[in-house]
């Protein structure tokens, strides 16, 4: 018997809920098999992941701090995806944001103290926005494929960052990394490690929800994403909107970098390409581009990361096992999202001889 | 003569959320006959046929093919039973060649298909049935008429004995329809059978042996075509009451010039012949200018240069005295131009958005529906439900995705939006395509009402009757040029026919 995949006629609400749940179950079963093969008790391991993510105040705080850039990168990528612009360059835009804020922190010493953080964040927005705007403009003007340009620009951004923290902007005494930002320009924490950046991220969710679902511009983006030719016939400029959306997408990813740098790392250093930009793609995809749903997905992914980091210590599993488990959990979830739109069925012919 | 049943659909019921598309329908198709399936827009014709080719499954009822009970789960299943369908919206892939499209989706194909063999077989088939197409051409370079032929070849290649044609002539010229009729007749003489959906009554009489009428999903009549004496009989059956065709048209009182084209030319990317060649004309307020011509002679590019969707290489377009040459579509919309595009699926509608949203797509940026940059959803809802009522769009709710509407109701959605937002200039390209008789009359009436209110209208159509009854002046296009422009009452069928075929007017020198 052969199987074929066909598009569902109607998107079913029930499926939208059930499929992620089934996928998650499959994920856990897959993970359990791998764990059993490496002589670990799956139940204990899953419990350890959960405890590692939420087991104590400190752990919750770690998870929340990770969630902030993940959520923001997810929002950033989601805006571009609405237009079917496959921005896989949030990582680079994030890194450019960090470079932008570091430049202000390190060299704009003539600024009054109170202005350093705001101007720094604005610079992160500008740097990230430009880094997103360039592939947007290339696509709009010359139809250059965005998956290639955004991906390449990731590596350029990471290269520039390395050059800066290893040589040009390196702090005199360190092997690598810039000098710490002045402490008056740090984003403050209010609960353990959790900093005020979380509110910026949450406010952004609300703003984006309004922009995307309630405004004329959001309506236009929706039209372009769903039928760009019809949108053009209705007077919507495709070129202008691709550039605008990519400026915004890059700006949010850049801001994510700026916030994380000024609240957590306090410098531009190794590890700046943390993968938030890439994981953001998963957030956007799994949330169905809905900003509010993104919060839940970002929290889940952040928990998965902090939780599996803890495995090494609590379960004495090799550190790679954490990553293997993360992958095993994500793949069925991503694959499952296909079946919200499609269904699989046996290809058979009945009735004829 | 004993007739053998090839297809029997018994007591079929199909429900969609909010609608019963088919209710207890029984259909019989005999060998060697053409069954015409008729009904208003949204009556359930396409749905019924889609169940025969495995796109939908009936909720109730049974299907018999050649006397055997069958369950058809997919197009592959129906192909194996010898059933093939040409859909209302063509399902060809533009950037593949004709041959590639024909073999696409075929089972048991070797990994590397023997293209030359396939091409030969296609040429052989096209000779046999007199369907001229070059198998190596890209489908996107073909006219709709040619694409239609590819669809037919596709069925023949697959050896279909039972052909389903869903409004195949909606996009064809009368001459192409005649050719299609000939091909059909030839296929029938070989023992094939066909179900034919159309809104054109004349074709019912010419093509079919039996006719079956659906109304609101139910079968309301099956008759031998020969028993029909008056076209209005069929219309009565379809609508359930007598249909009166009386267009109210006020006297012709042209006002000032609204649209003027001066020597507009567009170069073609693929041909040496220009897509548009020195087009000049004016449309005045209170006037309908018709464009006649065989499809593919520049009508669509003409509509696209006026609406800013296509750039002109030389010449100028003047709207209300101002130069609008190569302005953006938005600037032209703001100048008051509405556009009913030729290709509704691609240009007219966003299938994945709701009917209500689609209706608001011209006006969402005005104060009527939004408040600065925020769209006022409750005003949109009110606006949409008004239009749905006024234009009799059949949809379960205004929140239904537009792609779930029947072909004719999608067209009505576009018409409603464009006619409602029309601010003085209307460019209508094949506006009555795919509409049922009642809807066609109301569209024509709406267009005339626009004119009587002082709008300038450009109406592109392939139907001379439509052009003659609706328009004030008629221009004939051939190979990107305007052959002649005349008053509608001077437009005899012969005169237009010659011009459409590219015969220059030489002797007569009236203007
Ligand atoms: N996939 C679907 N989901 C929901 N409703 C549908 C779907 N397909 C069709 N319908 C509904 O079923 C009804 C019948 O539609 P159908 O396309 O069969 O009409 P039709 O007779 O072919 O009309 P037309 O002449 O306009 O093509 C319509 O009300 C339509 O909205
Ligand atoms: Mg139909």
Residues B377-425 pLDDT 10s: 999 999 999 999 999 999 999 999 999 998 889 999 999 999 999 888 9
pLDDT reading at B255 higher than 70: yes
CATH number of B1-82+161-241: 3.40.50.300
Q: Whose structure tokens read 């511009």?
A: A217
> Model confidence over A315-347: pLDDT tens digits?
777 777 777 877 887 787 777 766 666 666 554
pLDDT reading at B459 higher than 90: yes
Q: Which residues of A touch B70 (CB under 8 A)?
A: 350-352
Per-residue confidence at B184, pLDDT binned at 50, 70, 90?
confident
Q: Which residues of B touch A2 (CB under 8 A)?
A: none
Minimal-distance CA residue of chain A relative to B304: A233
- pLDDT at position A350: 36
Measured between alpha carbons, how far is B36 from B228 in angstroms, rounded to an integer? 13
A33-42, A199-208, B84-93, B437-446, range with greatest mean pLDDT: A199-208
Per-residue confidence at B310, pLDDT binned at 50, 70, 90?
very high
pLDDT reading at A185 higher than 70: yes
What would the two tokens of residue B158 be? 């697959």
Measured between alpha carbons, how far is B38 from B36 in angstroms, rounded to an integer? 6
Query: Average pLDDT in the A97-107 region?
Result: 94
Q: Which of B396, B404, B413 to mutate to test the pocket of ligand 1 (most atoms within 8 A of CB)?
A: B404
> Model confidence over B4-36: pLDDT tens digits?
889 999 999 999 888 899 999 999 999 989 999
Q: Which fold has domain B257-348+424-510?
A: Rossmann fold (3.40.50)
pLDDT reading at A97 higher than 50: yes
If DSSP codes are grouped into helix, strand and coil, which group holds residue B83? strand
Query: Average pLDDT in the B265-279 region?
Result: 87
- pLDDT at position A348: 42
Q: How much is the pTM?
A: 0.86
Distance, in angstroms, between A284 CA and closest chain B CA? 19
Helix, strand, coil percentages, rounded to 5, for chain B:
35, 25, 40
Residues of chain B contacting A, Cβ within 8 Å:
17, 56, 65, 68-74, 76-77, 80-81, 307, 309, 328-330, 332-334, 339, 341, 346-353, 357, 361-362, 364-365, 370, 373-375, 377, 404
Task: Please provide the size of chain A in residues.
Answer: 353
User: In this structure, are residues A120 and A185 in contact, taking their beta carbons and an 8 Å threshold?
Assistant: yes
pLDDT reading at A301 higher than 50: yes
User: In this structure, are residues A91 and A131 in contact, taking their beta carbons and an 8 Å threshold?
Assistant: no
Which among A227, A237, A348 has the least Cβ separation from residue B351?
A: A227
pLDDT, mean over chain B? 87
- pLDDT at position A6: 55
Which among B81, B347, B348 has the least Cβ separation from residue A352?
A: B81
Domain boundaries, chain B: 1-82+161-241, 91-159, 257-348+424-510
Query: Average pLDDT in the B139-167 region?
Result: 84
- pLDDT at position B109: 67
- pLDDT at position A5: 54
Domains B1-82+161-241 and B257-348+424-510 in one fold: yes
A243-257, B32-46, B436-450, B476-490, range with greatest mean pLDDT: A243-257
Strand B456-460, strand B370-371: pairing: unpaired
Per-residue confidence at A1, pLDDT binned at 50, 70, 90?
very low
Measured between alpha carbons, how far is B468 from B451 in angstroms, rounded to an integer? 15
What ipTM was reported for this prediction? 0.85
pLDDT reading at A151 higher than 90: yes
Alpha helix segments (H runs only) across B70-170:
75-80, 98-103, 115-129, 144-157
Residue B372 has a CB neighbour count (10 Å cut-off) of 7
Q: Is the backbone of residue B483 left (phi > 0), alpha (psi -120 to 50) or beta?
A: alpha
Q: Which residues of A touch B376 (CB under 8 A)?
A: none
The residue whose C-alpha atom lies closest to atom 27 belonging to ligand 1 is: B407
Instruction: For residue A215, give the DSSP letter.
Output: B
Strand partners, B39: B214
pLDDT reading at B360 higher than 50: yes
Question: B17-21 long-range CB contacts below 8 Å, 24 or more apart?
Answer: B17/A10, B17/B396, B17/B400, B18/B396, B18/B397, B18/B400, B19/B217, B19/B396, B20/B217, B21/B47, B21/B48, B21/B217
Measured between alpha carbons, how far is B487 from B506 in angstroms, rounded to an integer? 18
Distance, in angstroms, between B70 CA and closest chain A CA? 5
Per-residue confidence at B508, pLDDT binned at 50, 70, 90?
very low
* CB B413 less than 6 A from any atom of ligand 1: no
Q: Which string of DSSP letters, residue by residue, matches A277-307?
A: HHHHHHHHHHTTT-HHHHHHHHHHHHHHHHH
């Amino acid at each position: 018997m052969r199987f074929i995949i066909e598009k569902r006629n109607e998107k079913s609400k029930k499926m939208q809920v059930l499929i992620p749940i089934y996928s998650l179950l499959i994920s856990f079963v897959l993970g359990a098999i791998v764990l059993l093969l490496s002589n670990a008790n799956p139940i204990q391991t899953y419990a350890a992941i959960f405890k590692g993510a939420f087991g104590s105040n400190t752990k919750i705080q770690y998870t929340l701090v990770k969630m902030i850039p993940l959520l923001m990168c997810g929002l950033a990528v989601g805006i571009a995806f609405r237009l079917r612009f496959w921005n896989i360059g949030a990582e680079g835009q994030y890194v450019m944001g960090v470079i932008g804020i570091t430049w202000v922190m390190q060299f704009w010493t003539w600024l009054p103290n109170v202005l350093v953080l705001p101007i720094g964040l604005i610079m992160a927005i500008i740097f990230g926005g430009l880094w997103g705007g360039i592939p947007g403009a290339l696509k709009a003007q010359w139809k250059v494929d965005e998956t290639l340009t955004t991906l390449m620009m990731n590596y350029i951004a990471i290269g520039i960052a390395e050059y800066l923290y290893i040589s040009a902007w390196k702090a005199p005494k360190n092997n690598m990394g810039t000098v710490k930002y002045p402490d008056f320009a740090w984003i403050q924490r209010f609960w353990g490690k959790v900093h005020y950046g979380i509110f910026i991220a949450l406010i952004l969710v609300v703003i984006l929800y309004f922009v995307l679902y309630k405004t004329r511009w959001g309506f236009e983006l929706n039209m372009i994403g769903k039928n760009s030719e019809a949108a053009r016939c209705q007077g919507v400029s495709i070129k202008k909107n691709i550039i605008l959306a990519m400026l915004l997408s890059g700006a949010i990813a850049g801001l994510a970098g700026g916030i994380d740098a000024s609240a957590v790392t306090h410098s531009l250093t190794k590890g700046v390409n943390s993968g938030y930009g890439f994981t953001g793609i998963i957030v956007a995809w799994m949330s169905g581009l809905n900003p509010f749903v993104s919060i839940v997905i970002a929290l889940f992914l952040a928990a998965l990361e902090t939780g599996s980091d803890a495995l090494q210590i609590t379960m004495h599993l090799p550190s790679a096992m954490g990553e293997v488990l993360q992958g095993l959990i994500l793949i069925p979830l991503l694959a499952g999202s296909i079946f919200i739109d499609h269904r699989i069925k046996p290809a058979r012919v009945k009735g004829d001889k | 003569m004993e007739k053998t049943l090839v297809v029997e659909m018994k007591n079929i019921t199909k429900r969609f959320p909010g609608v019963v598309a088919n209710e207890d329908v029984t259909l019989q198709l005999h060998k060697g006959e053409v069954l015409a399936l008729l009904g208003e827009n949204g009556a359930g014709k396409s749905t019924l046929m889609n169940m025969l080719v495995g796109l939908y499954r009936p909720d109730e009822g049974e299907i018999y093919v050649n006397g055997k009970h069958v369950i058809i789960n997919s197009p592959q299943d129906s192909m194996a039973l010898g059933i093939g369908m040409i859909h209302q919206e063509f399902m060809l892939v533009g950037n593949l060649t004709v041959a590639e499209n024909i073999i696409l989706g075929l089972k048991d194909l070797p990994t590397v298909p023997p293209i030359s063999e396939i091409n030969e077989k296609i040429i052989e088939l096209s000779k046999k049935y007199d369907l001229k197409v070059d198998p190596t051409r890209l489908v996107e370079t073909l006219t709709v008429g040619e694409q239609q032929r590819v669809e037919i070849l596709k069925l023949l290649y697959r050896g279909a004995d039972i052909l389903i044609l869903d409004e195949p002539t909606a996009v064809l010229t009368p001459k192409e329809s005649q050719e299609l009729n000939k091909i059909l007749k030839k296929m029938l003489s070989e023992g094939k059978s066909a179900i034919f959906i159309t809104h054109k009554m004349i074709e019912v009489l010419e093509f079919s042996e039996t006719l079956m009428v659906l109304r609101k999903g139910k079968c309301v009549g099956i008759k031998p075509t020969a028993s029909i004496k008056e076209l209005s009989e069929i219309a009565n059956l379809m609508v359930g009451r007598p249909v009166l065709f009386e267009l109210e048209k006020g006297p012709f009182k042209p006002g000032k010039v609204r649209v003027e084209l001066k020597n507009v030319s567009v170069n073609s990317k693929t041909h040496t012949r220009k897509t548009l060649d020195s087009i000049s004309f004016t449309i005045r307020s209170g006037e309908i200018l018709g464009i006649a011509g065989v499809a593919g002679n520049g009508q669509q590019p003409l509509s696209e240069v006026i609406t800013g969707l296509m750039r002109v290489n030389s010449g100028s377009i003047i709207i209300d005295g101002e130069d609008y040459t190569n302005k953006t579509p938005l600037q032209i919309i703001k100048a008051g131009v509405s556009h009913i595009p030729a290709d509704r699926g691609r240009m007219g509608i966003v299938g994945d958005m709701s009917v209500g949203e689609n209706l608001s797509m011209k006006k969402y940026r005005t104060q009527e529906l939004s408040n600065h940059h925020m769209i006022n959803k409750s005003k949109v809802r009110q606006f949409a439900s008004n239009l749905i009522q006024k234009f009799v769009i059949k949809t379960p709710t205004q929140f239904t995705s537009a792609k779930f509407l029947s072909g004719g109701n999608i067209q009505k959605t576009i018409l409603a939006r464009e006619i409602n937002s029309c601010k003085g200039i209307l460019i209508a390209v094949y506006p009555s395509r795919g509409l049922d008789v009642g809807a066609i009359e109301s569209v024509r009436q709406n267009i005339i009402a626009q004119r009587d209110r002082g709008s300038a209208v450009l109406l592109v159509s392939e139907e001379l009757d439509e052009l003659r009854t609706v328009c004030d002046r008629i221009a004939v296009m051939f190979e990107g040029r305007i052959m002649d422009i005349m008053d509608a009452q001077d437009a005899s069928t012969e005169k237009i026919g010659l011009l459409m075929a590219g015969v220059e007017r030489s002797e007569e020198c009236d203007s």
